[in-house]
Homo-oligomer: A and B are copies of this chain.
Amino acid sequence: MNPISKAEENHLKAIFNLCEEFGKPASTNAIAKIMKTKAASVTAMIKRLSEKNPALVNHQKHKGASLTEPGKKIATNLIRKHRLWETFLVEKLNFSWDEVHEIAEELEHIKAEKLIDRLDDFLGRPKFDPHGDPIPDADGNFTFRKQILLTELAEHKTAVVVGVLDDSPSFLQYLDKLHLVLGAKVKVLERIEYDGSNRILLNDTHEQILTNKVCQNLYVKTL
């Protein structure tokens, strides 16, 4: 019964992410939305995953799904693989940060522990991926980093861009246009009350306006 299929892996990852985000079991509907399938299909999948040996998800009817320890192990390993491949694509193959997610979505399902460990070495055991998301180590431990949204940075304070909340291609491309790449230095010169937009100083040199929406999706770390 063992080898885990791509569909099963993607469900596990969806459940993991939803549980992390909301701190409670993932609903059938929410999972279906991520998987681009229907709630009925998710119910069937959850049933199969919870009957695996060992069980990969916990599930009581109408109460949502969460992962067991073996399930979490698989999910974090998928995230590890996804983020390492994204890093490879950006660092070694010169892809831009908005192009790599889709491809990594496929590469993450390649099953060869040795491959991913060698890739990790080749990349110099990076701790964060091109979007600033932490890459779990082989044991599933994430590196925690104190970060806040740019909307939470006090006026007149300076910080460095370290990640994004929204990682959609359109947002990432827009950030490129604004020169807001990882590592960029931003100082909040003025927060405009009227519409929540922010006048910022970029890399000590350029002044520009960032909408509230942009600032709500940018993670920064104070110096």
Q: How far is the CA of A13 from the CA of B100 in the complex (A)?
A: 28
In the assembled complex, the Cα of A134 lies from the Cα of B107 at a distance in Å of 25
Q: Smallest CB–CB gap between A94 and chain B, Å? A: 7
A118: CB under 8 A from chain B? Answer: yes
* Interchain CB contact under 8 A, A118 and B103: no
Contact B118 A93 (CB under 8 A): yes
Residue-wise interface mask of A (89-104) relative to B, using a CB-CB cutoff of 8 A (1 in contact, 0 not): 1001111000100110
Which residues from B are CB-within-8-Å of A92? 122
Partner of A106, one of B89, B95, B111, B121: B111
Tell me the residues in window 62-109 of chain A with beta carbons closer than 8 Å to chain B beta carbons. Answer: 89, 92-95, 99, 102-103, 106-107
Inside 8 A of A119's CB, which chain B residues have their CB?
Answer: 93
- Is B107 a contact of A103 with CB atoms below 8 Å? no
| Cross-interface CB contact of A103 among B93, B94, B103, B115, cutoff 8 Å | B115
A interface residues with partner B (beta carbon < 8 Å): 89, 92-95, 99, 102-103, 106-107, 110-112, 114-115, 118-119, 121-122
Chain A to chain B contacts (Cβ below 8 Å), 20 pairs? A89-B115, A92-B122, A93-B115, A93-B118, A93-B119, A93-B121, A93-B122, A94-B118, A95-B114, A95-B118, A99-B114, A102-B112, A103-B110, A103-B112, A103-B115, A106-B110, A106-B112, A107-B107, A107-B110, A110-B110
Other than the given A93-B121, A94-B118, A102-B112, 4 more pairs (CB < 8 A) read: A92-B122, A93-B122, A106-B112, A107-B107
